[in-house]
Amino acid sequence: MTLSSFPVIRLKPKSNARAIRHGAPWVYDNELVIDRRTRGLTPGSIAVLEDAERAPMALVAVNPNSRIFARVLDRDLSAVIDRDWLVARLARAQEMRARLFDAPYYRLIHAEADGLPGVVIDRFGDAAVIQPNAAWADVLLDDLAQALVQVTGVTTVLKNAGGRARSLEGLDEDSAVLVGQAPDAPVAVPMNGATYMADLTGGQKTGLFYDQRPNHAFAARLAQGARVLDVFSHVGGFALASLAAGADHALAVDGSDPALALAREGAQAGGVSDRFETRKGDAFDVMAALAEEGAQFDLVICDPPAFAPSKQALEAGLRAYERVARLAAGLVAPGGYLGLCSCSHAVDLAAFRVACNRGIGRAGRQGQIIHTGFAGADHPLMPQLAESGYLKALFYRL
């Protein structure tokens, strides 16, 4: 297709065209000249983005149903957005992961940072799960699945349509099998010496959170001979890594029966069941009950869901992180360690640190920060998009 065959969308005169030229990947609806024609564009279609002086800037994917009206696909105006283009982006991402990991269990595509805006792909050996969280990816989903098979050789490709991101884009919640057959049992995933069980069809997100891998590894270094408490454990994240590293005992707390069942299955597969225990319940209630029981642990880690998924939820989210820190700090034995995590896009590291410090202080404890952790290298950060660096982890010695 020639450039003239694409519809055109144009920045308002006072919009920040320089940010787009310097790599910003998103254009919000209030930055564009919006008329009946632009409002009528098909979600997921490709357009040419122009600055206010009508100079073409990039090929973008548009979605009039989203506040993010346009996502930059390619700054090369001669690019052809097709299966070959997808293959090239996937191959570039795959090459880096192959250098970093000795087994094919990782996040293969981390959205904008890997050049496929709104797309998340996690790989589980011969299977891959796609979260197409932008309309353009839904439109090209068949090509994306076939490109994925071509680049990686996976035999199963699943679409996971759950999560807040798709609803914000006005997209359906219909998950599907795109290639092959859905696994009829959880997939065993080796990571940090532990074995995790990932439910690719019924679990949270794609089935497993790879982003915490380096933080699991750091916590495991503190866990030898330790009593470990893993709160908001999901499928046993920090607990199983700690046991693999030689922890004496680990207690995993979560509100989900299916997640804890997978954690127990992972402990069994890793040969650490005799040192592993689970407790189902609301994390705040369980921590309060443990305090009443006089329980103490050498290492406590809390990895809650996003308490502040948006700016509107920021203040309430920070109060929740402070409360987590206060309750958790009271369970740490003298000289023990506390790990606190946040996956909230709206909470930056400085604000998270203040909330954690306040909570620890309110518990009557003092501590030193010994490590600040982030997501692994398979979750690269796009420098022009702060949201891609969502994960923060603070480790204290109390």
Token pair 């506040």 is found at 67
- Residue 222's SS3 state is coil
Chain centroid, CA 315 distance in Å: 22
Residue 180's nearest CA partner among 126, 106, 130, 139 is 126
Amino acid letter for position 148: L
Spatial distance between the Cα atoms of 1 and 30, rounded to a whole number of angstroms: 29
Backbone angles phi, psi at 174, to 5 degrees: -95, 100
Selecting among 302, 341, 343, 356, the annotated active-site residue is 343
> What Å distances lie between residue 35 and 5, 60, 113, 365, CA to CA?
19, 18, 31, 58
- Residue 159's SS3 state is strand
Evaluate whether 105 touches 210 at the Cβ level (below 8 Å). yes
- Residue 368's SS3 state is strand
What tokens does 253 get?
A: 């707390």
- H or E element: which one contains 218? helix 213-221
Evaluate whether 47 touches 63 at the Cβ level (below 8 Å). no
Evaluate whether 283 touches 304 at the Cβ level (below 8 Å). yes
The DSSP line for 38-102 is HHTSPTT-EEEEE-TT--EEEEEEE-TTSSEEEEEEES-TT---SHHHHHHHHHHHHHHHHHH-S
Q: 343 catalytic, yes or no?
A: yes
What tokens does 269 get?
A: 């597969």
Q: Which residues pair with 188 in a beta bridge?
A: 197
> What Å distances lie between residue 219 and 97, 268, 337, 370, CA to CA?
23, 21, 9, 11
Spatial distance between the Cα atoms of 375 and 291, rounded to a whole number of angstroms: 31
Residue 301's nearest CA partner among 246, 236, 353, 345 is 236
As annotated, the active-site residues are 343
